Chain A
């Protein structure tokens, strides 16, 4: 899988000191029956270039809302979000999203789905086709390139969803519980795939999950959100080497610590 990626794809070197994403005092309330319901309260955190941040917290604490705001689908009530020192105003290909549900275009094949975003950017058919081939191989779906989404499994769909945004080489990747609906083994496979790809391409990744093991396996830093009031309860750096094994004593230490926070 690694051989597929060429040297030229290696992006600016990982630099956690230089912020790719800065969130300052982000607040969101929804208007329900005339009363304001507060969902996010003064959320502040940042993500360095090439960092993998996992956001975790109990159901309903506002993780999806936060991600939707970062993506530009929702407007914050207050606060600022900067990506590479530019304020976020609307959705754009510098911040690509992998959704929790299947959002592939059902009328396009696997190949056409992966080509979709890049097609709007380049007129060069040869380049487009070569790029699509590369990312098809990266996620191991070459044999399935002419299948329709309804003809492939859930895990394959998520791989297509990842490939179709990776091909756009986004600076920031926003992922909302992308593997939550997969079985244990497939999930582990997808986590390994994500880590491999991420180490080669070096994007900044914001990964929402409520699976503690997933967070510890993946994250450089874990942001724990408080239930109900939607503020940040704790930040936890996970300075473990990869690949991480659940049997390591350090891993268990982080697991216990995280468990206490929730």
Chain B
């Protein structure tokens, strides 16, 4: 690849050219009304709707001021789903990466499950759990489980066997060996798995909330569709992207704060 001079104006400008041009085209299209507003809303309208949704008083319009309660509802669902996925995925993954018995026991089953597209669980989940938090948490947990499990297994498998031998000859028992050698040794993989899992969690959150729950960032999008509010749909999409991105940053921070290995090896 030909090198680009860092710090040059071109270097700073380059990433923004395509988005900038697209927004400009969009503004022009909506002022000339080439495409009707209900299909592609005016960017200014979107900014207004967005700021009302986030900052305004609740009484003013249907969506005004709902952001905090929607975000709280969605974050709760993502948190519980992701938490369950980690609770099972991480220990099972590490065990199956280390122990042939566990690997043999689980592999066929988990790969079988993985072959079922996550979306197809939706009807069954609604039958089992009805409409509400449980369905969403179930979908999120199921989807996030696989990357967490698979990466933890890969991490535990690739660990240098001599590190474990070094622990054994220094008199480290099984429990301490798992916590102070296996876990940190697999940390880069574990971290990748958790971040992928959290990303997928947000996707499945939206799926779970499309089923008619009253609140949540995904629910708002669906609601806006029925009322023909394209501007609100786009606001919801952008906010989910932002909140998802922030939750990823938070996850990385928390891991780095809690584990030396996460700080020093990633």
A-side interface residues toward B, CB under 8 Å?
A: 71-73, 90-93, 95-97, 99, 101, 103, 105-108, 116-117, 120-121, 148, 164-165, 168
- List residues of chain B with CB within 8 A of the CB of A107: 184-185, 187, 260-261, 264-265
> Can you name 22 A-B residue pairings with CB atoms under 8 Å?
A71-B165, A73-B165, A73-B169, A91-B168, A92-B168, A95-B169, A96-B169, A97-B166, A99-B162, A99-B165, A103-B160, A103-B162, A103-B163, A105-B163, A105-B166, A105-B185, A106-B264, A107-B187, A117-B170, A120-B172, A121-B171, A165-B169
A121-B163 Cα distance, complex, nearest whole Å: 19
A-B pair count, CB < 8 Å, reads 64
Q: Does B245 touch A at the CB level, under 8 Å? A: no
Once the chains bind, are A71 and B169 in contact (CB under 8 Å)?
yes
* Chain A binding surface, main DSSP class: loop
The reply to whether B170 and A93 form a contact with Cβ atoms under 8 Å apart is: yes
- CB-nearest residue of chain B relative to A104? B166
9 more CB-based (< 8 A) A-B contacts, given A72-B168, A97-B169:
A93-B169, A93-B170, A97-B165, A99-B166, A106-B265, A107-B264, A116-B180, A120-B176, A165-B170
Chain A residues whose CB sits within 8 angstroms of the CB of B217 once the complex forms: none
A71 to chain B: closest CB distance in Å?
6
Residues of chain A within 8 A (CB-CB) of B260 are 107-108
The complex places the Cα of A164 from the Cα of B169 at a distance, in Å, of 11
- Enumerate B122-157 residues with CB–CB distance to A below 8 Å: none
In the complex, chain B residues whose CB is within 8 Å of the CB of A92 = 168-169, 171
Cα-based distance from A116 to B260 in the complex (angstroms): 14
B85 at the interface (CB under 8 A from A): no
B95 interface residue (CB < 8 Å to A): no
Instruction: Say yes or no: B264 contacts A91, CB within 8 Å.
Output: no
Query: What separation, in Å, do the CA atoms of A91 and B265 have in the docked complex?
Result: 28
**B264 to nearest A CB, angstroms?**
5
Once bound together, how far apart are the Cα atoms of A106 and B176, in whole Å?
17
CB < 8 Å neighbour of B162 from A93, A101, A168: A101
Q: Closest residue to A165 on the B side, CB-wise?
A: B170
Q: Is the CB of B160 within 8 A of A168?
A: no
Number of interface residues, chain B, beta carbon within 8 A: 21
In the assembled complex, which residues on chain A have CB atoms less than 8 Å from the CB atom of B170? 93, 96, 116-117, 120, 164-165, 168
Q: Are A93 and B265 in contact (CB under 8 A)?
A: no
**Chain B CB within 10 A, most for which of A97, A103, A148:** A103
Shortest beta-carbon distance from A22 to chain B in Å: 19
Which residue of A is nearest B165, CB measured? A73
Interface string of B166-203 (1 = CB under 8 A from A): 10111111001000110011010000000000000000
Q: Which of B165, B170, B265 has the most CB of A within 10 A?
A: B170
What residue of chain B has the Cβ atom nearest to residue A73's Cβ?
B165
A96 CA to B176 CA in the complex, in Å?
Answer: 18
> Whole-angstrom distance from the CB of B191 to the nearest CB of chain A?
12
Of B169, B180, B185, B264, most buried by chain A (CB within 10 Å of CB) is: B169
| B264 partner residues in chain A, CB cutoff 8 A | 106-107, 148
Chain B 89-129: CB-based contact to A (< 8 A → 1; otherwise 0): 00000000000000000000000000000000000000000
Closest to B266 in A: A107
A25 to B265, CA, bound (A): 45
A87 to B88, CA, bound (A): 41
Residues of B within 8 Å of A93, CB to CB, are 169-171
Is A105 a contact partner of B169 (Cβ separation < 8 A)?
A: no
Residue of B nearest to A149 (CB): B264
Residue among B168, B171, B181 facing the most chain A CB atoms (10 A cut-off) = B171
A117 near B171 (CB under 8 angstroms)?
yes
Chain A residues contacting B187 (CB-CB under 8 Å) are 107
In angstroms, Cα B250 to Cα A87, docked, is: 52
Alpha-carbon distance between A152 and B162 when the two chains are bound, in angstroms: 20
